[in-house]
Structure 1
Amino acid sequence: MLRFSRTILGVASVGALSVASLFMAGNSDFRKVVTTQPDSLILGDFVESDFPFISTSIDGRKLGSGFPKENEAARTLAIRLSDSAYVAFDTDLLRWSVAWTRQFMPMHLMAQVSYSDFFNKSNKLATIGGVPQLATGSYAGWVALKGNPATFEVGAPKRDWMPLPAEEARWNGIYTYGDKVVLNYTVGQTPVMELPGSTSFSGQTAFTRTFRIGPSADVLGLVLAEVPNAKKVEQNARFAYIYQGANQDTVTAIGLAGKGTKLMTPSVSDKGHLKVRVAPSSQSTEATLLIWKGPVRLIKQFEKAAKATKITLPDVQKGGPAYWKQDVVTQGVIAPDTAAFVTDKVTLPLPNPWKRNVRVADVSFFKDGRAAVITFEGDVWLIDGIDRSLQNVKWRRFASGMHETMSIEVVTDTVYVFGREGIVRLHDLNRDGVADYYENFSNVMSQSPEGREWAGDLVHAPDGSFYVAKGGSLSNGPGMTPQVAKGFRQGSKHNGVILRISADGREAEVIATGLRGPYLGINPETGVLTASDQQGNFVPSTPIYLIKKGDYYGVSPTAHGQENPEITPPLTWIPHHIDQSSISQAWVTSNKMGPLSGNLVHYSFGRPGLFRVLIDSTSQGVQGGVSIIHADYPAPTSKGATNPVDGQLYAAGFNLWGSNSKGLSALLRLRYTGKPSYMVNGFEVGKQGIVLSFDSELDPAVASNPDNFKVKRYNYKRTEEYGSGHYKLDGSTGEETMYVSAAYVSPDRKKVLLLVPEMKEVMQMEVDYQLKAKDGHKVDDQFWFTINHLDELSPAKYGFEKVDYNLLTALREPATEKAKEVASVEKGRQVFQKTACAGCHSEGTRTKGMYGPPFQNLYGAKRPLEDGTTVVADDNYIRESILNPSAKIVKGYNPEMPSFQGILSDTDIDSFILFVKSLEKK
């Protein structure tokens, strides 16, 4: 057993230390490792043997007859105590959920199963892998008692997935110190530091809990274990025993060790709770408790071991030794300046000395241009050397062990991370380049263990507060809470909501509800808050919202008690085939991004890629639209930020769910080259038509030809089904092609007025245009937008002259009858690509990374269904699967495909069937 010479009392929080000096020259402890991207990646285990904890949920409901039945926790620290002893500490309830021996935990959670099996989404509930020894139920592990009671009662099980009220007890954080950790929390007003451990005697394992308890005016109560099948109880001033088993030959025992235990009294409740009462004291107290389960015949040896045990806490507030002592150096790839915006690749540190996967989920920047990234496996890496050439990019591991982390913010050069454990503030106490203290900045948001109740997003507001987005508790996972609607489980009270977290992290306020899988963006100067949501049940297509307090966005399972609330429309919808899986937004906060400077940018996981978001303000409200920022995106783009030094926009992302990209992960720099941009940079819609503004001057002869513009519109239907087809304004299926009566070009040649008859509010409009710029560049692109409100247009303010509104009611030339389309394999292949089928289905036999079944050899095959029946994949089956995909669900797959009702024509569907037939293996 390790011995430490000094002890120290922890406090609830430590001052935020800057990490600005972490890359100082002359730090001899760190060595450089130069790496390049390999063709294949050899990874170590998700759980690293030289790091003492991981954050995880735990399902301890089936440990056996001698353990509590109600024992589940969403936020625990799974701590290695020795080579074969472990404990899961519940940070919400400050209890040892379960302690066990032999094997650690099977890697069942999403980040774990996909760590080396990159597209594996078959997550299960987290369980222990060895033999349980001790456990408590889902109630408070500590309690502060007023007065001077001789004993105390254990509280009722807590099922709200919330931490204990801060005035009762609060989790403060975890210190790392070599192979040890020290837990820091407060019980009532009393600070407590705890060193969990284990010791061996006579071939047995006893668990140790060494405390440093601050001065306390209150009696403190501690629950150490619950043994429901107790047969006999014994206790004295130093030991307490619960005998169990048919022959009472097994015992669960607690023993007091050390001088500080004179304030402690062990006891056993009539329900089998092993407890300790801690008397008030005006001074700090250090004490160790031993807890053991084993054969009765070894009780004397246990008592001897307890009396001999002497453990002191390490001086953790000065920091511990660095876990990772090497910088990994990579060389980035600079894109040629072929367009206005290109993507440079900041090469990831793969391979690295720890054989660690690096799936970057988010990036944030220090004031000096260094970056911090968070990975889905729970690691923080710090990056230096982000210059124009990217030829000497230094990566350093800074922190690890966190739970499905997808968001990072650097605030005044201090790193904040949002994962399922809450918002963690990281501290490098001894300035050796590695975090030593993982402070609980905020855990006031509820969190269930449901597989899709993501800690989705975190953004920092100008007033010092934070906003977080919580994923809805979707039912496509193993499930721990009841199903409440199609596609949804109950989850916690904050699933599917956006919360404002106070600047001190201690309070949460619900801002918006009714979301399925929200992600955020915030203007760091004005505080304007935006969000996207994930298409699925109750969400007909991808929306972008302008968030206002009190808004409800239409997902009834996450309305959280509101009765028939009014649904707030989005700023804009985006069609499924354009962005089938949206993530966050970011504002370009520099003036170095050319026409994108000051703009809002939307990140698409599914496409992948970035969109420019435009806003049209009317007298009644706002509406928005998007255009694609064309560039090379080799992996999903999830989140990003503007670098304050080079002024460019960065994007981080990793692959796991359905995406058109097959790259595993990337950190990209969207760089402005100075070349002309031809994107739409503004729009206005009104009763007479549409005004589009462009970054570059247009050829007026081409832009004034209305035949070069194709306009259509359609609505979606919000139902409990997954996604939506397209519907005309009268409710029938399909899309309406709009007639463009005329096109006018403004004097500055950067704006076009389209006269469009019968403009109305509609959920989705699309404008396809085939134009030419003044410099001769062909401009073939699209713009998608939503009309929430219609005012009269004022063309004169843009300089349009002699606009003939009579053309809006003029008789139209009869349309030339189109030649009837003929179904073909090639057209079916185009449908497969255009409608984003390729993001979920393979045209070969691949299943990894695919949400839906593969198409090769599909036609004519027997398909096993979830209801136990089978069906032959013939023309009728494929057609039904396209128009009503939830009618028949193939076994092993989730109902996560939208209907293409009103989107694909009969010829499109016939062509698709021919395409599937053509994929038969020759």
Structure 2
Amino acid sequence: MNSIRSILYLPFFLLLILACNQGDRSENTESHAIGGFILSESDLPEFEKNLDHKRLIEAWGDRHGESLRTGEHIYNNICFNCHGNHEQEGSLPTAFKFWKDTFKVGSDPFSIYQTLTRGYGSMPPQVNLTPVEKYDLIHYIRETFLLEKNPDQYFNLDSAYLASLPSGGNIGPAPKEFKPWAEMDYGNFLINTYEMAGLTTPPRERSSGPAPLPDENLIDANFAYKGIAVRLDQGRGGVAAGNAWMMFDHDLMRVAGAWTGEGFIDWEAILFNEKHNISPRTIGDLHFENPVVPAWANPNTDSFDDPRFTARDKRKFGPLPRDWAHYKGLYQYGDRVIISYTVGNAKILETFGLETVENQLVFTRTFNIYPSDKSLKMRIAPSGTAVAILGEGAILKDQDGFIVMELVSSQSLKIKLLIAKPGINGLAQYAKSSSPPEDLNSFIKGGPARYSQKLITEIQMGEQEGPFQVDIMNPPFDSPWKNQFRLSGLDFFKNPNKGVICSTDGDVWLVEGFTKNSGKLTWQRIASGLFQPLGIKVVNEEIFVTCRDQLVRLHDFNGDMETDFYESFNNDHQVTDHFHEFAMGLQTDKEGNFYYAKSARHAREALVPQHGTLMKVSKDGSKSEIIAKGFRAANGVCINPDGTFIVTDQEGHWNPMNRINWVKEGGFYGNMFGFNPPTDSTDTGMEQPLVWVERERDQSPSELLWVDSKKWGELNGQLLNFSYGYGKVFVVPFEKIGEQVQGGIFELPIPRFSTGVMRGRFNPGDGQLYLCGLSAWGSTQPQLGGLYRIRVTEKPMNIPKGLQIRKDGIELTFTDKLETNSVEDINNYTIKTWDLLRSRKYGSKHYNEQTLEVTNAVLSKDKKSILLTIPNIKPTWVMEIDFHLKSEKGEKVEGLIQNTIHQLGENPLN
């Protein structure tokens, strides 16, 4: 796949270290390991081939304290999330435990260095750690975990060992800590969940212990769960490069606060610095803040009482009722952001600004308020904050601990508020000379292009032998905005040469060149600042994006393709501060309704009903509903021809392994940490999956897709599953017995991708499969993001596409004809089964492992189906069918099907 030249574009925080319990290292380290990605010698940078390892290790003595501190920093920021430590289990319980596990590939520093450098098993190569950093990390692991807690694994260094190490002329490049999440230009706004924090805010409270983790006491924390952070000072680099900001919370239509400083936020979050179980805080000087309550009084009752859903921890979540207040979206005009919302039947446009009074900063809020049939009032800031007002039709009052703005009804108003720290001098006098409130209508019709530069990339055409060829269509990693390109969704327009791709960092890109065969792609950034987009869909040439806080429709008013209005098509999402509740995928049914999956909290019980659910949004965006529940980490949704759904889920608590679920409306899918789970926690109390997917086959399944292309021949109409965990593509043969769907997975014979694969679409123009992916919160693949095309050649596929379970055996159907003698030799099959145990614990080991005897094998008349007689076949959680056959033309036909059996078919084999 991609060379190290592409990989080295990636930043320091590239991946989590996922060193799962290691098996024996194959002597052929040039190839991909099961579930991993191993760099070959030729892919290593030149300095790795001429390192003085003795000098690097001996430096521990000279810089012992510094080395340990650096190693601790690396471990806590990269390794701890998955590995944890001897006191607190990491988020991936199967990850290697340095304080008690046994190394299988060598416990000496040089062996550990090789694993860090080239990858092994489920651990990816750490290509952006320098040699010094890798040895500092090894030093910390040795002295912190091995020496005292796992002494049998502590390798004693002596002169003979040091003399045996490869000698070289360098120690690699000087360490440099990259922070790409803080260097990216997100545009002048960025939507996320933020905690408002000032200079004296106490440290975060973070619970620990066995799952489910207890809820922290966050009732007094000021979270903007749907926070729109807007930069107010001038300059390049977007919101992350600013010095003054205001935060708008579109759940409550409140300004959560305003702050200044040398840094935007602390970047503590899974999709920033990869920290789990945490949300970013503002840093710097908090000039004023408002509590997590409605900003506008209910126009029908004149009350500020919050009627929203109250969670178990006493916090309230979700948007206000629509007849009270409703967020409509935001307009972008240059660096200006104009928020659009309603209060009652009054339409409101609002924008923010920054002014100076005697060298003291003043934050401004400008409103265009359209007529209301009721009087309105809004809390501006706590009493004591300096506030002045410009414009007619509004007055300020001090009420119940807040400065309140009251508005007259039945007329259009233009109001400007000036807000500053308590005690500022001269604000009232300054207000008299400040510019009057603007008419904001001139900023909502489309503005100048912000990202006018179009970027060109080359397509690397695949020349692989076999039935498939993979083209690499890398994004422009060297973009002027320092985008990370963690690609999370794609779709095509009616003109199949054009498509849209979203990234989880908040971008949407218009990409052209898919079908013109020019060997190039053109990338145009058309939207930015969105909250973790993880799905995109083009409907009637309009672009819809699934974000964590809302389903967004993008509007271009002036024909330059850039988004002028980010319409909140539906914002019913209930968002908490938990890192794990991603909104995944986007599909539409025949009636035009939208569907996406929402993940649950990791190792914690749900706080809101939407945690761990399949969500439906009506065609007009006016309402949403829960279709199914009980998911843990549902990565996307597939709509089946019969109107049912497929939703994948990931190994974890209450999930003994990964699941591919054929979903029925109203079904419960096993996560007892979900919201109001059924009382029956046994296996019979949940819907069973189509297949349990073992971690050796795939660590993390993503979305499924039906093949809709005649060019794919015998696979047309079949079902594919994408692997986020290992960068694979599987075909999913299945059957339905009664009401239960069951089947398996078989890996397509293509090299594994350098990213985890998230989403795929067939292009109606060329009939080929396009895939995009990313590596962020748990993939083992080393490249940050990627775009790929799989083309079908004319060569035989030799792929099992059908799987039927009978009372006394199995029928396998292949895409191409097979050779009789190899098929009928029962020694060419190995069939193993085992069970799993579903519990509140993370994952499951194997139980009741067996090898089943194949007593007969018969090839069908069309030479494409095999009838295997297996006398002891019975329902099982996991089965592996390993076969070594030949095609009719004498080619090797080998592989492994992993499947699940819930029921035996009625028709016995003859």
Question: One fold, TM greater than 0.5?
Answer: yes
Looking at structure 2, the residues matched to 673 and 50 of structure 1 have their Cα atoms a distance apart, in angstroms, of 40
Q: Report the AA paired with residue 264 of structure 1.
A: A
> Residue 627 of structure 2 is aligned with which of 489, 503, 511?
511
* Paired position in structure 2 for 1:367: 494
Looking at structure 2, the residues matched to 214 and 524 of structure 1 have their Cα atoms a distance apart, in angstroms, of 45
> Residue 756 of structure 2 is aligned with which of 636, 648, 653?
636
Q: Which moved more, 1:172-181 or 1:559-568?
A: 559-568
Question: Per the alignment, in what secondary structure is the counterpart of residue 593 of structure 1?
Answer: helix
Q: Report the AA paired with residue 650 of structure 1.
A: Y
Looking at structure 2, the residues matched to 410 and 46 of structure 1 have their Cα atoms a distance apart, in angstroms, of 31
* Paired position in structure 2 for 1:106: 265
**Structure 2 unaligned residues grouped into runs of 5+:** 12-178, 203-217, 235-242
* Deviation sequence 1:58-117 (CA, Å, 0-9, x none): 213667699994521211100012254311100110000111123452242446534xxx
Q: Report the AA paired with residue 251 of structure 2.
A: D
* Paired position in structure 2 for 1:788: 902
Looking at structure 1, the residues matched to 185 and 899 of structure 2 have their Cα atoms a distance apart, in angstroms, of 52
* Deviation sequence 1:480-524 (CA, Å, 0-9, x none): xxxxxxx22544331111111111222121111111101233247
Shift of 1:737: 0.5
Q: Report the AA paired with residue 595 of structure 1.
A: E
* Paired position in structure 2 for 1:350: 477
* Paired position in structure 2 for 1:223: 379
* Deviation sequence 1:516-550 (CA, Å, 0-9, x none): 10123324755331011011111011111111111
Shift of 1:403: 1.6
Matched, 1:174 2:330: yes
Shift of 1:317: 2.6
Shift of 1:426: 0.7
* Deviation sequence 1:314-343 (CA, Å, 0-9, x none): 412320111111111111111115111221
Looking at structure 1, the residues matched to 221 and 306 of structure 2 have their Cα atoms a distance apart, in angstroms, of 13
Looking at structure 2, the residues matched to 598 and 390 of structure 1 have their Cα atoms a distance apart, in angstroms, of 30
* Deviation sequence 1:675-714 (CA, Å, 0-9, x none): 1111101111011110001111111011011111111111
Q: How does 1:26-175 map to 2 (within 5 A)?
A: 39-40=8-9, 46=182, 51-60=187-196, 69-83=220-234, 84-110=243-269, 113-114=272-273, 120-121=274-275, 124-146=278-300, 155=306, 159-175=315-331
Matched, 1:776 2:890: yes
Q: How does 1:706-717 map to 2 (within 5 A)?
A: 706-717=826-837
Shift of 1:124: 3.6
Question: Per the alignment, in what secondary structure is the counterpart of residue 505 of structure 2?
Answer: coil
Shift of 1:382: 0.9
* Deviation sequence 1:788-825 (CA, Å, 0-9, x none): 12222255xxxxxxx4xxxxxxxxxxxxxxxxxxxxxx
> Residue 668 of structure 2 is aligned with which of 535, 541, 552?
552
TM-score (norm 2): 0.74
Q: Check conservation: 1:708, 1:769, Cα contact below 8 A.
A: yes
Change beyond 3 A, Cα 1:41–1:454: closer
Q: Report the AA paired with residue 594 of structure 1.
A: G
> Residue 457 of structure 2 is aligned with which of 296, 315, 330?
330
Return the index of the structure with the highest Cα Rg.
1
Matched, 1:310 2:436: yes
Change beyond 3 A, Cα 1:50–1:503: closer
> Residue 454 of structure 1 is aligned with which of 573, 582, 586?
582
Q: Check conservation: 2:197, 2:283, Cα contact below 8 A.
A: no
Q: Check conservation: 1:513, 1:560, Cα contact below 8 A.
A: no
Q: How does 1:663-682 map to 2 (within 5 A)?
A: 663-682=783-802
> Residue 604 of structure 2 is aligned with which of 488, 494, 497?
488
Matched, 1:499 2:597: no
Q: Check conservation: 2:269, 2:579, Cα contact below 8 A.
A: yes
* Deviation sequence 1:176-230 (CA, Å, 0-9, x none): 1112110000111111000111211111122211111111101112111124xxx
Identity among equivalent pairs (%): 30
Looking at structure 1, the residues matched to 200 and 657 of structure 2 have their Cα atoms a distance apart, in angstroms, of 46
Looking at structure 1, the residues matched to 868 and 778 of structure 2 have their Cα atoms a distance apart, in angstroms, of 37
* Paired position in structure 2 for 1:610: 729
Looking at structure 1, the residues matched to 251 and 369 of structure 2 have their Cα atoms a distance apart, in angstroms, of 19
Looking at structure 1, the residues matched to 776 and 743 of structure 2 have their Cα atoms a distance apart, in angstroms, of 29
Question: Per the alignment, in what secondary structure is the counterpart of residue 395 of structure 2?
Answer: strand
Shift of 1:161: 1.9
Q: Report the AA paired with residue 642 of structure 1.
A: F
Looking at structure 1, the residues matched to 329 and 898 of structure 2 have their Cα atoms a distance apart, in angstroms, of 46
Looking at structure 1, the residues matched to 282 and 850 of structure 2 have their Cα atoms a distance apart, in angstroms, of 57
* Deviation sequence 1:455-496 (CA, Å, 0-9, x none): 22322222211111111111xxxxxxxxxxxx2254433111
Change beyond 3 A, Cα 1:525–1:319: farther
TM-score (norm 1): 0.73
**Structure 1 unaligned residues grouped into runs of 5+:** 1-35, 115-119, 228-241, 243-251, 475-486, 729-734, 796-802, 804-922
Looking at structure 1, the residues matched to 747 and 902 of structure 2 have their Cα atoms a distance apart, in angstroms, of 22
* Deviation sequence 1:764-811 (CA, Å, 0-9, x none): 11111010000111011011211112222255xxxxxxx4xxxxxxxx
Looking at structure 1, the residues matched to 364 and 321 of structure 2 have their Cα atoms a distance apart, in angstroms, of 27
Change beyond 3 A, Cα 1:657–1:96: closer
Shift of 1:410: 1.4
> Residue 289 of structure 1 is aligned with which of 417, 420, 429?
417
Q: Report the AA paired with residue 414 of structure 1.
A: E
Q: Check conservation: 2:7, 2:782, Cα contact below 8 A.
A: no
Q: Report the AA paired with residue 312 of structure 1.
A: E
* Deviation sequence 1:400-436 (CA, Å, 0-9, x none): 0012222111111111111222111111111112111
Looking at structure 2, the residues matched to 699 and 65 of structure 1 have their Cα atoms a distance apart, in angstroms, of 72
* Paired position in structure 2 for 1:867: none
Q: How does 1:404-803 map to 2 (within 5 A)?
A: 404-474=532-602, 487-523=603-639, 526-564=642-680, 566-632=685-751, 633-728=753-848, 735-793=849-907, 795=909, 803=910
* Deviation sequence 1:819-861 (CA, Å, 0-9, x none): xxxxxxxxxxxxxxxxxxxxxxxxxxxxxxxxxxxxxxxxxxx
Q: Which moved more, 1:382-391 or 1:169-178?
A: 382-391
Question: Per the alignment, in what secondary structure is the counterpart of residue 182 of structure 1?
Answer: strand
Change beyond 3 A, Cα 1:445–1:156: closer
Looking at structure 2, the residues matched to 468 and 408 of structure 1 have their Cα atoms a distance apart, in angstroms, of 10
Looking at structure 1, the residues matched to 219 and 676 of structure 2 have their Cα atoms a distance apart, in angstroms, of 30
> Residue 189 of structure 1 is aligned with which of 319, 334, 345?
345
Q: Report the AA paired with residue 644 of structure 1.
A: P
Q: Which moved more, 1:529-538 or 1:332-341?
A: 332-341
Q: Check conservation: 1:615, 1:683, Cα contact below 8 A.
A: yes
* Paired position in structure 1 for 2:387: 254
RMSD: 2.4
Q: How many residues align?
A: 705
* Paired position in structure 1 for 2:403: 274
Question: Per the alignment, in what secondary structure is the counterpart of residue 615 of structure 2?
Answer: strand
Shift of 1:47: 6.0
Shift of 1:291: 1.6
Looking at structure 1, the residues matched to 331 and 783 of structure 2 have their Cα atoms a distance apart, in angstroms, of 36
Q: Check conservation: 2:386, 2:423, Cα contact below 8 A.
A: no
Q: Check conservation: 2:608, 2:675, Cα contact below 8 A.
A: no
Looking at structure 1, the residues matched to 837 and 569 of structure 2 have their Cα atoms a distance apart, in angstroms, of 41
Change beyond 3 A, Cα 1:524–1:764: closer
Looking at structure 1, the residues matched to 373 and 549 of structure 2 have their Cα atoms a distance apart, in angstroms, of 30
Question: Per the alignment, in what secondary structure is the counterpart of residue 133 of structure 1?
Answer: strand
Looking at structure 2, the residues matched to 655 and 435 of structure 1 have their Cα atoms a distance apart, in angstroms, of 27
Change beyond 3 A, Cα 1:500–1:294: same
Shift of 1:620: 4.8
Q: Check conservation: 1:68, 1:137, Cα contact below 8 A.
A: no
Looking at structure 2, the residues matched to 112 and 549 of structure 1 have their Cα atoms a distance apart, in angstroms, of 31
Q: Which moved more, 1:488-497 or 1:105-114?
A: 105-114
Question: Per the alignment, in what secondary structure is the counterpart of residue 379 of structure 2?
Answer: strand
